[in-house]
A and B are shown apart, each in its own frame.
Chain A
Amino acid sequence: MAAMLETRDLTKRYATLTALDHLNLSIPEGAIYGFIGPNGAGKTTTMRIVTALLKPSYGEAWVAGHEVSREPKVIRKLVGWMPDTFGVYDNMKAWEYLDFFAASYGVPEVRRRQQIGELLDLVDLGNKRDEYVMGLSRGMKQRLSLARTMAHDPQLLILDEPASGLDPRARIELRELLKELRALGKTIMISSHILTELAEMCTHIGIIEAGKLLVTGEVNQILASLQPHRTIEIHVLADAERAVELLRHLPGVRDVRLIAAAPLPPTTVPGTAHEQIVSETQVEVLPGIVPRQAVLVDYVGDDGGLSRMLHQLTVAGVPVVHFAGQVSDLEDIFMQVTRGVTQ
């Protein structure tokens, strides 16, 4: 896949501080690239360089094959940038806001008239067309800002912390919107502190700390590369110690750990008038529900081995109620690769 954005040894120095240190990243066309890092890591600096707002001290960045420093005008056509702050103009309506930015990007008036309606509909603000921007909620402003970013139909969207300060509903709406944009063929670079959110929508990630890119690539590949083995979580209703002994001697098992009572998934209580969902905290008071015990198994091997593992447990009469591989998420990766360095 061709790279929509590529940087080579991108470096930015401020007096005594190196904000970016030989950053090399590549974002393929059509990807949603999560750019993760603590405050002061260099995310915004990278984004400002890529949007031709900041000159690098060293190195180069290309967007769709155009070098950023040499062709800033082309870059501005190709890139839609959404900063981490929402700039509000006084006395301006939602449609006027979009009209101004579309006009500033040279979109002819005839096209703008149609486009503004489409953009407002896309971000679900069609009914707010004549509302003053200042009167919109934060979530609506973010969506309007995203619509502004799309005003000139750019190929690459660079979104700096678009979800910060949004309530859960607004975040979910934003996430769905980004998925829609990806479906429209846009490449998206997004920075966020909310890693679980990025995990749900990103195809690629880059983790940056103290100006250095620690890891970059496809989410699945990174997950696989950072995990030397799979961890299998097994819940049993009884005989946990026996299960541990049994598992230790199976091929491919590196380590087995018995952990405290396993959390129960939400379940239904049969026999009640309305089979209601009960939570873990309610279990203790409900008769007939036995607490689980959990066993964690570090395993190196294929799925056949796992199948045999489950078979052995069942044959041995261990009451297994849950058998699944643990899924690592971005938080695990983030904690694994970063060292908490800030500048």
Chain B
Amino acid sequence: MSWLSNSQPVLVKELRGRMRGARAFVILTIFLLVLAVPTTLLYIAVASTVQFDQFNAGQTIGKTLFLGIVTVALIQVLIVVPGQAASALTSEKERETYDLLISTLLPPWKIIIGKLLAALAYALLLIVAVIPFMAVSFFFGGVTVLEVILALVGLVVTVVLFGSSGILWSVIMRRSLAATIVTQAVSVGLLLGLPFLVFVAGVLIFRDFPPPAWTSSAPFVYLWITALSLHPFIALGASELYLQQGETRLFFPAGENPLVPFVPFEAGNGVNFLIPHPWLLYTLEAAVLSTILIALSIRLLRPINEGPTRPRRGKGAPKKV
């Protein structure tokens, strides 16, 4: 703890603040309850439909439970983490500790990383809490260790990406509410807007049959899968489908691609090139984007330029100059 408080006082302070009191455990309890309800319902539903297929019943139940748990956990993490991160610096501004913080000798990168790590630490607590739920699916079988690892990697990567987005908006905005709304709007924009755009583009590009030859070219395929893999649900969902097809390689030839809608390339086109597994691509993209968001946050972290303010309606006297 000593080295941590010396090297990352912001993280230590945040952890003390977040983990103390009932709030952290109330959120964790709600998180687990929300996870438990659909898991139970899913189990009841799947168990009742697989009764007649005694041979694979356990595997089907295990796989369905696993995917259900990961999906619900991913949704919850996407709701909780950006919100937590979005108030990381706005809360300092609201408590009027922001200037005190940045007038210390802490460099901006330490403040931003400390805030991000604190948000991530809390998210990791939530993710770790999911692991026992995942273990339930192991009782039924059908879930490989690789799938579990990829699910956890996917959750962590998602948390880092959306947490970084929250931190950036927290640096830019002055109020936690505004920062949270903008962060969630950006998240929803990505989660809903991206599939919509890809769908529209797909309809326009692939309306003719056979599709134009350039749609099987490497640049287009890379662009297409890069766009699709930016979406955590699509990327991780596609990864699961590839794993079910037995494709576990990090990179594989486009010609051997079993998931044509994801990679619009069919064998027999003469040209062949390697494409990355969707989870790998998602991880890389998220890493690059997170780095950009964090770098921007560090760059934008500066004192509030407190100029003379016009009195707002109903807000009382103007600020001092």
Q: Is A bound to B? A: yes
Check if A103 sits within 8 Å of B5, measured CB to CB: yes
How many contacting A-B pairs (Cβ < 8 A)?
97
Contact B17 A45 (CB under 8 A): no
Interface size on B, as a range, is: 20 to 34
User: How many Å from the CB of A236 to the closest CB on chain B?
Assistant: 48
Which of A105-113, A247-255, A286-294, A305-313 lies at the binding interface? A105-113
Determine the main DSSP class of A at the interface with B: loop
Verify if B53 is at the interface (C-beta below 8 Å from A).
no
CB within 8 Å for A87 and B17 given contacts A39-B320, A73-B105, A104-B106: no
Least CB separation from A104: chain B residue: B104
Question: Is A329 at the interface (CB under 8 A from chain B)?
Answer: no
Tally A residues with Cβ within 8 Å of B: 44
* CA gap between A100 and B97 in the complex, in Å: 12
A53-B6 contact in complex given A90-B17, A91-B21, C-beta closer than 8 Å: no
- From A76, A85, A96, B96 is in contact (CB under 8 Å) with A85
- Give, as a whole number of angstroms, the nearest-CB distance from A142 to chain B: 14
Contact, CB under 8 Å: A19 / B308: yes
Question: Known contacts A17-B308, A87-B97: does B6 contact A41 (CB below 8 Å)?
Answer: no
A40 contacts the other chain (Cβ, under 8 Å)? yes
Contact (A54, B95) CB under 8 Å given A40-B320, A76-B103, A105-B104:
no
| A85→B95 CA distance, assembly (Å) | 9
Q: Min CB distance, B102 to chain A, in Å?
A: 8
Q: Is B307 an interface residue (CB 8 A)?
A: yes
Q: Which residues 29-72 in B have Cβ within 8 Å of A in the complex?
A: none
* Structural contact, B104 and A91, CB atoms closer than 8 A: no
| Mask of A214-225 contacts with B, CB within 8 angstroms, 1/0 | 000000000000
Q: With A41-B321, A44-B320, A92-B17 known to touch, is A109 a contact of B104 (CB < 8 Å)? A: no
Contact of A54 among B5, B98, B303 (CB under 8 A): B303
The reply to whether A109 and B321 form a contact with Cβ atoms under 8 Å apart is no
Interface stretch (choices B8-16, B159-167, B277-285): B8-16
A51 at interface, CB cutoff 8 A = yes
By a beta-carbon cutoff of 8 Å, the part of chain A in contact with chain B is: 14-15, 17, 19, 39-45, 48, 51-54, 73, 76-77, 81, 83-92, 96, 99-101, 103-106, 108-109, 148, 152, 211, 343
Q: Could you jot down 17 A-B contacts, CB within 8 Å?
A: A17-B321, A48-B99, A53-B99, A53-B102, A73-B105, A83-B100, A85-B96, A87-B100, A89-B13, A89-B17, A91-B17, A91-B20, A92-B13, A92-B16, A100-B9, A101-B100, A104-B106
Interface residues of B (CB under 8 A from A): 2, 5-6, 9-10, 12-13, 16-17, 20-21, 92, 95-106, 303, 305-308, 318, 320-321
